[in-house]
Chain A
């Protein structure tokens, strides 16, 4: 078979919605795009542990503490599935970490915002996990098999996270005046960054077309963003809170909510490293990695010693 035949077989699979598997031939760019996207997603899960980890020791009740701990642990698990999925494309986890620590690989910018109140644990679950679900449900049918399967497992847990987050806010919104203030203040901070999670608008998203063609992506950034706005407005009403956007209005004709313009300058600033916590997040990850070096070295040395010993034992026997 020539490269052209391979390409044709690949295109056919994509068109017929047959999953691409690790051993299948795939175009270099498809592989590269997937490695970039999946590793970026994995990094987001891991860096995403930090802003919520920030409140584990301060959770206001033992039940909430247990739920939060379990949630952050889930995110670590998501990171693990995704790193494994990316590894099937021929990159190692250590290489991906290296890219994260040197700033070559990105992660979701939302995690560069600080968590300053307990209500943020609710707002992140509701809005951030909520926005993630919009993206990820679409990815459950993405063309690369291992990625799609990882997404199915992850999506189940993410929707659980979203409900738990919303429940935190619901409880607080039924509480005292000051708790309602805390909820509103948190929504004010997280709303716009959550909308930014869907990425640049379609006319500014150069990769979208190719990704749609490969069925890596199923919907455009703007389509998903709109869908998110539509469901979130209703949920916000139930909380008795306001979304911080004066332009937010039901558009009868479109059958969707209209909403205001995203602050793209802020978006690009945070993407490019100037968010409130970019440095802290990266420093925390790098520190964990560097502090852990001697531990990983020890584990490796020990397992090699054991192999040696068992070899000797088999020889002796």
Chain B
């Protein structure tokens, strides 16, 4: 049960942190229509995050009191748990610190320019599409339901970011160079998607989770096809960054959380 909660939180954190990054574009996009598209995508991820957090909170609240203690390294959350109170989606999003967040490092990388945002989206969206397709068959019916609902969104995301990779790659000389740099810079963050933690391995063997490692070939083939069409070269370096899934993050996450959690931290325990 504990691993099921942590696994669900990993999915939730990915969606929340990545959606947060995308929401930073709102009002600043290069074209009004794209501003709207990006906000839409950000809303999709926020919706997914909420679904996963609610599920994680329900699983957590059903645990015997003794098992609840010590699950999170958060003073405020621990206080609440010790009082015997139930937790909810907001407690999980707003009261945990970085070491309890399990999102992939790629999701917390800064937006950079439009090419960077597109490259990040491209790697993530193709992965998500493969991932949610499998997660629909999860033995955890809640996870399966969220995946099924999200798959339509994710299918659109994948088309959107692939089209942009092609457009920028095969656009002007300037956009070609920028797209290539962005694909190179984010490449080392892609390996983590397929490196399985013990929790993921256990969940996959229970048929509740997805065998992410098994998605690699499909992912590689799909990104390569699009990159080819975009006249882009994917790096062949195999050295990869990792740590997000284990709560070891880049410096960026702390600032994301400082912003995201500001009100709940400054005015604790209030209803908004």
Chain B's nearest CB lies how many Å from the CB of A196? 23
Q: Judge whether B167 and A299 touch: CB under 8 Å.
A: yes
For the complex, give the distance between the alpha carbons of A70 and B29 in Å: 16
Residue A100 at the chain B interface, CB threshold 8 Å: no
Chain B's nearest CB lies how many Å from the CB of A101? 14
Interface readout for B46-59 with A: 1 if CB under 8 Å, 0 if not? 11011001000000
Listed residue (B32, B170, B174) with the most chain A CB atoms within 10 angstroms of its CB: B32
Residue B226 at the chain A interface, CB threshold 8 Å: no
Interchain CB contact (< 8 A) of B175 among A49, A60, A297 = A297
For the complex, give the distance between the alpha carbons of A271 and B35 in Å: 27
Q: Which residues of A sit under 8 angstroms from B259, Cβ to Cβ?
A: 57-58
Q: Judge whether A171 and B272 touch: CB under 8 Å.
A: yes
> Contacts A76-B32, A171-B271; is A62 near B46 (CB within 8 Å)?
yes
Q: Judge whether A60 and B272 touch: CB under 8 Å.
A: yes
Residue A298 at the chain B interface, CB threshold 8 Å: yes
B102-151 residues at the A interface, CB under 8 angstroms? 113-114
Q: Judge whether B260 and A294 touch: CB under 8 Å.
A: no
Query: Which residue of the partner chain A has the closest CB to B174?
Result: A294
Which bracket fits the contact residues of B? Answer: 35 or more
Q: Judge whether B260 and A58 touch: CB under 8 Å.
A: yes
> Contacts A60-B272, A62-B49, A73-B43; is A118 near B170 (CB within 8 Å)?
no
- Name A's interface SS: helix
Q: Judge whether B89 and A62 touch: CB under 8 Å.
A: yes
Q: Which residues of A sit under 8 angstroms from B32, Cβ to Cβ?
A: 46, 76, 79-80, 83
Q: Judge whether B166 and A72 touch: CB under 8 Å.
A: no
B1-36 residues at the A interface, CB under 8 angstroms? 16, 20, 23-24, 26-33, 35-36
Q: Judge whether A175 and B26 touch: CB under 8 Å.
A: no
> Contacts A175-B270, A294-B175; is A302 near B264 (CB within 8 Å)?
no
> Contacts A58-B262, A60-B264, A301-B172; is A292 near B29 (CB within 8 Å)?
yes
Q: Judge whether B113 and A291 touch: CB under 8 Å.
A: yes
Q: Which residues of B sit under 8 angstroms from A294, Cβ to Cβ?
A: 172, 174-175, 178
Interface readout for A54-73 with B: 1 if CB under 8 Å, 0 if not? 00111111111110011011
Chain A's nearest CB lies how many Å from the CB of B168? 5
Q: Which residues of A sit under 8 angstroms from B49, Cβ to Cβ?
A: 62
For the complex, give the distance between the alpha carbons of A46 and B27 in Å: 7
Residue B234 at the chain A interface, CB threshold 8 Å: no
Q: Which residues of B sit under 8 angstroms from A301, Cβ to Cβ?
A: 171-172, 175
For the complex, give the distance between the alpha carbons of A56 and B24 in Å: 8
Residue A36 at the chain B interface, CB threshold 8 Å: no
> Contacts A176-B270, A298-B167; is A58 near B172 (CB within 8 Å)?
no
Query: Which residue of the partner chain B has the closest CB to A290?
Result: B30
Residue A50 at the chain B interface, CB threshold 8 Å: yes
For the complex, give the distance between the alpha carbons of A215 and B167 in Å: 45
Q: Judge whether A296 and B271 touch: CB under 8 Å.
A: no
Residue A110 at the chain B interface, CB threshold 8 Å: no
For the complex, give the distance between the alpha carbons of A72 and B28 in Å: 12
For the complex, give the distance between the alpha carbons of A62 and B259 in Å: 13
Q: Which residues of A sit under 8 angstroms from B94, Cβ to Cβ?
A: 60-61
Q: Which residues of B sit under 8 angstroms from A73, Cβ to Cβ?
A: 26, 36, 39-40, 43
B50-88 residues at the A interface, CB under 8 angstroms? 50, 53
Interchain CB contact (< 8 A) of A296 among B24, B31, B50, B178 = B31
Residue A238 at the chain B interface, CB threshold 8 Å: no
Q: Judge whether A77 and B36 touch: CB under 8 Å.
A: yes
Q: Judge whether B270 and A305 touch: CB under 8 Å.
A: no
Residue A179 at the chain B interface, CB threshold 8 Å: yes
For the complex, give the distance between the alpha carbons of A179 and B29 in Å: 33
Q: Judge whether A66 and B50 touch: CB under 8 Å.
A: yes
Residue B239 at the chain A interface, CB threshold 8 Å: no
Q: Judge whether A53 and B26 touch: CB under 8 Å.
A: yes
Q: Judge whether B46 and A302 touch: CB under 8 Å.
A: no
Chain B's nearest CB lies how many Å from the CB of A297? 5
For the complex, give the distance between the alpha carbons of A72 and B29 in Å: 13
Residue A295 at the chain B interface, CB threshold 8 Å: yes
- What 5 A-B pairs come out closest when comparing CB atoms? A292-B30, A298-B171, A298-B175, A60-B272, A49-B27
**What 10 new A-B contacts, CB under 8 Å, besides A73-B40, A295-B31, A302-B170?**
A49-B27, A56-B23, A57-B24, A72-B26, A72-B39, A171-B271, A171-B272, A172-B272, A296-B31, A298-B167
